[in-house]
């Protein structure tokens, strides 16, 4: 999906929003449950050596954490929600709603 096809979030360009998963490589067993759980194509399995990676971070839906709950070893994390709300508030000031 090209960057231009990414949906804005509350009028904020998706590429400016730092909401996406992080994988703890020490915990991850590469079970690929997150790959199957994510309907947005955020994850991929590949590389050398092959591992689950966050291949398309901006495809992740803002505030979605469904994949995190599928991970049997808690290897997936997201930004702190309270801190992230402050980030969204600052971005809303830069990208006010259209009137």
pLDDT bin (cut points 50, 70, 90) of residue 1 is: low
Please give the model's pTM, rounded to 2 decimal places: 0.88
- The top-level CATH class assigned to 3-94 is alpha beta
Domain ranges of the chain: 3-94
Q: Of 47, 52, 88, whose CA–CA distance to 67 is shortest?
A: 52
For 96, phi then psi, to 5°, come to -65, 155
Question: Which residues, in sequence order, are bridge partners of residue 77?
Answer: 22
**pLDDT tens column, 24-54:** 999 999 999 999 999 999 999 988 789 999 9
Pairwise CA distance, residues 13 & 37, whole Å: 25
Is the pLDDT reported for residue 2 higher than 80?
Answer: no
pLDDT in tens, 65-90: 999 999 999 999 999 999 999 999 99
């Amino acid at each position: 999906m090209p960057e231009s096809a990414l949906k804005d979030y509350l009028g904020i360009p998706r590429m400016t929003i730092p909401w996406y998963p992080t994988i703890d490589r020490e915990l991850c067993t590469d079970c690929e449950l997150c790959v199957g759980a994510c309907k947005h194509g955020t994850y991929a399995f590949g590389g050398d050596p092959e591992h689950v990676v966050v291949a398309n971070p901006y495809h992740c839906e803002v505030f979605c954490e469904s994949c995190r709950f599928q991970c049997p070893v808690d290897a997936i994390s997201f930004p702190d929600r309270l801190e992230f709300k402050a980030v969204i508030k600052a971005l809303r000031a830069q990208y006010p709603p259209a009137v």
